[in-house]
């Protein structure tokens, strides 16, 4: 059996093989809520539904390179924190053909997020029911609050993205990828609260973050507030 499979590895017509794509969860915060950039499908199947940007993996292209290419070409974003999320390969997930997709998570600061609508992308708020730790199926909402029907298994992929972020939030630097270079402790706390979906204790959060030693105070302060301005911090590099 192994010999046949070996040959099938050389000859693409010996056995039919699944097609391989990457799909990107372009994740960020929109008005303090989890959000992702979605693309409206203008073809069958799932015409009119909303989908993650994606593309086929080239025969001479790394998976990470394919994800970077999709980020650049379909979302016009030159650079972002990118990490592989999970690979989805259920039989019926695409009605056209057998397509296995490697989902990637891209983390965008709110600024990059704001420029997106010109490309036909919509910044959809992602509602994650708390659903007892596991996180249920998500719903996507347009900026006006309408529910956006999702294509394929993309609701499942979005749910996985939020769960992954929750898990990595407090031992990794993912939160900082969602913030500008300079940020206040309040902004950092807002990011944590948005992803966890639960309020946090302010003094405890401050203590934890400062004791961690990842933050450098800049001595500068935010401007334009009508109240006491908060100090701006920067992520210490390299970590």
Partner DNA sequence: GCAATAGTGTCTATCAGACAATATAGC
Partner DNA sequence: GCTATATTGTCTGATAGACACTATTGC
Looking at 29, 36, 52, 57, which residue binds a second copy (CB under 8 A)?
A: 57
Minimum CB distance to DNA smaller for 33 or for 221: 221
Residue 99 binding a second copy, by CB under 8 A: yes
CA atoms within 13 A on the CB side of 13: 0
> What beta strand segments (E) does 89-171 contain?
99-107, 121-127, 139-141, 147-148
CB of 185 to DNA, least distance (A): 5
Residue 186 binding DNA, by CB under 7 A: yes
The pair of structure tokens assigned to 79 is 């650079």
3-state secondary structure of 208: helix
- Contact between 36 and 128 under an 8 Å Cβ cutoff? The reply is no
Question: Which residues is 217 bridged to in the sheet?
Answer: 233
Minimum CB distance to DNA smaller for 118 or for 211: 211
CB of 175 to a second copy, least distance (A): 18
Residue 134 binding: pick among DNA, a second copy, none (C-beta 5-8 Å cut-off by kind): none
Residue 20 binding a second copy, by CB under 8 A: yes
For residue 191, give Cα distances in angstroms to 28, 36, 114, 226: 9, 14, 16, 22
Stretch that binds DNA, among 7-15, 28-36, 129-137, 195-203 (CB under 7 A): 195-203
């Amino acid at each position: 059996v192994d010999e046949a499979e070996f040959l099938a590895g050389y000859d693409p017509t010996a056995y039919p093989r699944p097609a391989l794509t990457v799909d990107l969860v372009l994740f960020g915060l929109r008005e303090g809520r989890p959000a992702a950039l979605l693309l409206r499908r203008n073809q069958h199947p799932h015409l009119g539904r909303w989908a993650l940007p994606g593309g086929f993996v080239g025969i001479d292209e790394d998976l990470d390179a394919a994800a970077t290419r999709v980020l650049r070409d379909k979302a016009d974003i030159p650079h972002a924190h990118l990490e592989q999320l999970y690979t989805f390969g259920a039989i019926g997930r695409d009605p056209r053909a057998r397509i296995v997709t490697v989902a990637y998570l891209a983390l965008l600061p709110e600024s990059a997020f704001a420029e997106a609508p010109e490309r036909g992308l919509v910044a959809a708020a992602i509602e994650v029911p708390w659903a007892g730790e596991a996180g249920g199926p998500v719903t996507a909402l347009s900026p006006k609050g309408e529910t956006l029907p999702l294509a394929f298994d993309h609701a499942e992929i979005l749910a996985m993205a939020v769960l992954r972020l929750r898990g990595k939030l407090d031992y990794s630097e993912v939160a900082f990828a969602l913030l500008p270079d300079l940020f206040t402790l309040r902004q950092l706390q807002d990011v944590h609260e948005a992803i966890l979906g639960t309020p946090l204790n302010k003094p405890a959060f401050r203590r934890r973050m400062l004791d961690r030693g990842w933050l450098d105070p800049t001595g500068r302060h935010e401007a334009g507030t009508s109240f006491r301005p908060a100090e701006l911090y920067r992520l210490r590099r390299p970590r």
